[in-house]
Amino acid sequence: MADAPRQATIFDVARLAGVSHQTVSRVLNDLPNVRPATKARVEDAIKQLRYVPSPAARALVTKRSRTIGLIATGGTEFGPSSTVLYFNVAARDARWSVFTANMVDSDPGSARAAVEAFLRQNVEGIAVISGREGVTDIVAGMELTVPLIALQATAHAGMMTVGVDQYAGGRAATAHLIALGHRRIAHLAGPQDSVDARERERGWRDELAAAGLAAQVVGAGDWTPTSGFAFGQTLADEVTAVFAANDQMALGLIHAVTERGLRVPEDLSIVGFDDIPEAEHMAPPLTTLRQDFERVGRDMLVTLLGRINGDASEPMGPSQPQLVVRASTAEAAPGTKTGRRQATLAQAPAAD
């Protein structure tokens, strides 16, 4: 049986780059006083040898762990999972390691245990990416000796926050439907323990009020297509448009109203939120609010590292979601939806 190939050491990198191992260490730990040309040679040698530095050895040299603890909840929810991905990519690019605790729910004991485990591993900062506010509240309430940041557009006592302006997105979705002539605009809300869901609903209410319209029809969803389907099965005929708090619920809603014989957008305009990859391939393609999850993940990492390194400036403000108009919205036709549907049926050819 052949021996496994020997893992490269810092001394191998030094020999290949033609420098001392102390210089390699300075490059690995982003320390000053290394000429650009020398740094480039060392980095080329690291790539060529596929050298992986030891975190323990690095910590002994710098007295720092270059590690971050990340608490993530939300399972397969598109927004949180996408932000987790890009946060990790940004950390890897910055040569920081991330210890991740994935939690199914907001159990207080599990959240505290995760934080305590991170601190035992000498993390230099903690991030919380969660679709539910319970975990954020638990961690913010702990007396921590390291910087803390959370995925949330609104301010939260006890921690820095970075996110997308969900309230502005709710207003933009509703304004789009109002501009198309819709006056009976329902909202399919997300879970009430989600700050994002509440902010999107608040934006819907305020935009309607600004236009002199009543916020009358609200459905309670849970981010899943199933909850969107259930809402669509009971949606009142006089409603001509729906702002769904995420794209997956919009998908279930389209399914339900189509089964009822209604057409999207001729009988019902629908706007979602998130711009998941499937949104442009729905039938019809979905009008939605796009969130830049890559930017949010990177902003979280940059802000947290800044605070770890002594930057006391305020976190950057929330980014703005972008309205993406597709075929699921159209101008409101004259008359009620019921009337339009009856007229459509009356014009249809009789069955043989």
Q: pLDDT, tens digit, for every residue of 94-118?
A: 989 999 998 876 677 888 899 999 9
For a pLDDT cut of 70, what percent of the chain falls above it? 89
**Would you place residue 140 in the very low, low, confident or very high pLDDT band (cuts 50, 70, 90)?**
confident
Q: What average pLDDT score do residues 311-336 get?
A: 87
**Half-sphere CA count of 288, side-chain side, radius 13 A:** 25
User: Which homologous superfamily does the CATH classification assign to the domain defined by 166-291+324-334?
Assistant: Response regulator (3.40.50.2300)
The yes-or-no answer to whether 67-164+294-319 and 166-291+324-334 have a common fold is: yes
Contact 123, 69 (CB under 8 A): yes
Would you state the pLDDT for residue 62?
Answer: 55
Task: Please state, in angstroms and rounded to a whole number, the distance separating the CA atoms of residues 173 and 165.
Answer: 13
Encoded amino acid at 276, one letter: I
Would you state the pLDDT for residue 347?
Answer: 39
Tokens of 108: 């207080």
**Would you place residue 259 in the very low, low, confident or very high pLDDT band (cuts 50, 70, 90)?**
very high
Task: Please state, in angstroms and rounded to a whole number, the distance separating the CA atoms of residues 304 and 130.
Answer: 16
Sign of the four-CA dihedral 168, 249, 84, 87: negative
Domain 10-53 - what CATH class? mainly alpha
Would you state the pLDDT for residue 63?
Answer: 62
Would you state the pLDDT for residue 342?
Answer: 44
Using CA atoms, how far residue 233 sits from 117, 153, 209, 249, 262, in Å, is 46, 33, 27, 13, 11
Question: In this structure, which CATH number among 3.40.50.2300, 3.30.420.40, 3.40.1830.10, 3.40.50.300 belongs to the domain 67-164+294-319?
Answer: 3.40.50.2300
Q: Of 47 and 266, which is predicted with more confidence? A: 266
Contact 159, 150 (CB under 8 A): yes
To 5 degrees, how large is the angle CA 172–CA 177–CA 181? 140
**Would you place residue 22 in the very low, low, confident or very high pLDDT band (cuts 50, 70, 90)?**
confident
| Beta pairing, strands 125-129 & 148-151 | parallel
Which of 153-157, 160-164, 192-196, 227-231 shows the lowest per-residue confidence on average (mean pLDDT)?
A: 153-157
pTM, full prediction = 0.78
Q: Of 292 and 76, which is predicted with more confidence? A: 292
Q: What average pLDDT score do residues 210-217 get?
A: 95
Q: For every residue of 70-123, which 3-state class applies, written as one string? A: EEEECCCCHHHHHHHHHHHHHHHHCCCEEEEEEECCCCHHHHHHHHHHHHHCCC
Task: Please state, in angstroms and rounded to a whole number, the distance separating the CA atoms of residues 203 and 302.
Answer: 29
**Would you place residue 350 in the very low, low, confident or very high pLDDT band (cuts 50, 70, 90)?**
very low
Domain ranges (residues) in the chain: 10-53, 67-164+294-319, 166-291+324-334
